[in-house]
Chain A
Amino acid sequence: MQLRAWHVTSARWCRAAVRAALLAAALGALPPAAARGAEEVHATYHSFSDSEQNHIDTWVMEYGKGWADAWRANVRGALDRVYLPPLPGLPGSRENVDAITAASRPVRSAADSKLNYLKERQEITGSVAWAPRGRAVQGSGSYYVSRESDYLAQQAGGEVSRNWNGGMTGLALHTSYGYDRIHPDTHLDGDPALHTRTSLDVTATCTQTFSPTLQGQAGVELTAVRGFQSNPYRQVYVGGAKMPERHPDERLRRAAFAQVDHWFSTRASGSLGVRYYSDDWGVDAGTFDVRFNQYVGDHFVARYRYRYHTQTAADFFRDVYNDANGAGGYQSGDYKLQNFDSNLFGVKVSVPFEGWVSWMDGLVLDLKYERYFDSNSFAAHVLEAGFSWPF
């Protein structure tokens, strides 16, 4: 009961914090500032609709303010609303029972499985950056909290960076520590126990200017995750019997990435990014991302994008678990741990309002559409609209 009360209190606090961030951003936009660019507001609406009729709306609002030519503070609030459709099959039918077993969301009863499921997530991030003009060393720190009815995530992070060679070469070291509390909602055959998970991440990124039209960056990332890493609602048939999903409690994730950006004389730019990933669960992955930006007229920008991702399955992932011991004591129904390929095509346009109305100078509107599909017959539409306004 105390835990529930604590969760309710923290939910109220989280909602209040998000509202405060949105209010601060809205108020910050009202008065005209003397030095343009000292303050900035960003707002984004993001919509994700997939072929399984799931839908996620996300609203993000961010306000940033700089001072003393060196410091900058940002506050970012985000709200997710997740809509999941009723599960298939008549209550009590084999199809419905199997759907409840495989569901990654709470289902209190067979009748409950036939209702829409709505969930909210609130997130707030605060950060402070120190970047004095003319100094080669910069630093920043951040704190993040995300709250759902059954999940609380917190993360503290810091970054130090330094430039050499007249600013042509840079190295940034970033680290973060995350602490998550997972307290499942009521669920058929579910385990109501409180679980925790921690993650420690270290990322090193090197940036390099190669010529007046070519720059690149490369880096490595190492993340150690400890604690509960299964879905508390999902069950798996193991040797014919329903068992809770069970993943290892430890995971070491490693990634290396590189990106080059090139300017073309046609007032365009191209970006090519690659990423290699592997972990000790046996997942190996490669991702390729190419983007092309083109100015149309003086300010309007159109962007075209293609992304390809391929990955192998985790060592313990099986389509069917015949052995009562699963695979080495583990069993998973997580589609993310399967072998698959995915493709993403997208287009984005950015429209700056320069010279239209003086008080709107600097305002940039963005509109993006992307289509994602994978080799497991999953597909999604991604739509994003937003604006950035320095003032």
Chain B
Amino acid sequence: MRRGLLILLLALLGLESGCATVAPYQREFLADRIMDPAASARERAIERHWVDTREGASGGALGAGGGCACN
């Protein structure tokens, strides 16, 4: 787990150091609805609920819910 976390942080730092400054007027594509990770938040919330009933590796939070019948 720690090794995985370290690799993730190093990869992020590596990418961060290699990125150019992007001015607000250059963010047209980034703001598009098919590029916005938050746009699918509602869909993910519903999916997390049923995936929780089939897989034992979810985070366990961000909307615990769900009782015994469908678990």
Contact = CB atoms under 8 A, between A and B. Distances in A.
A254 to B, nearest CB: 5
B54 A253 contact: no
Contacts of A123: 65
Interface stretch (A9-17, A42-50, A65-73, A321-329): A42-50
User: Chain B interface: which size bin?
Assistant: 35 or more
A56 B51 CA distance: 13
Nearest to A254: B1
Max chain B CB contacts within 10 Å: which of A151, A174, A334, A372? A151
A288 B18 CA distance: 25
B15 A336 contact: no
B59 to A, nearest CB: 5
Contacts of B33: 301
Interface in A317-352: 334-337, 342
Given A56-B50, A209-B27, A144 B70 contact: no
Contact of A182 (B9, B32, B61, B67): B67
Interface stretch (A25-33, A92-100, A276-284, A353-361): A276-284
Interface in A142-183: 144, 146, 148, 150-151, 153, 155, 157, 165-169, 174, 176, 178, 180, 182
Chain A's interface: helix, strand, loop or mixed, by majority? strand
Contacts of A337: 56
Interface in A170-215: 174, 176, 178, 180, 182, 184, 199, 201, 203, 206, 208-215
21 contacts: A42-B42, A146-B67, A150-B69, A166-B24, A168-B19, A180-B64, A184-B68, A199-B60, A209-B19, A210-B19, A211-B19, A215-B30, A217-B37, A218-B9, A221-B59, A231-B68, A256-B1, A277-B58, A311-B55, A336-B55, A342-B54
A110 interface: no
B62 A157 contact: yes
B9 to A, nearest CB: 8
Contacts of A378: 54
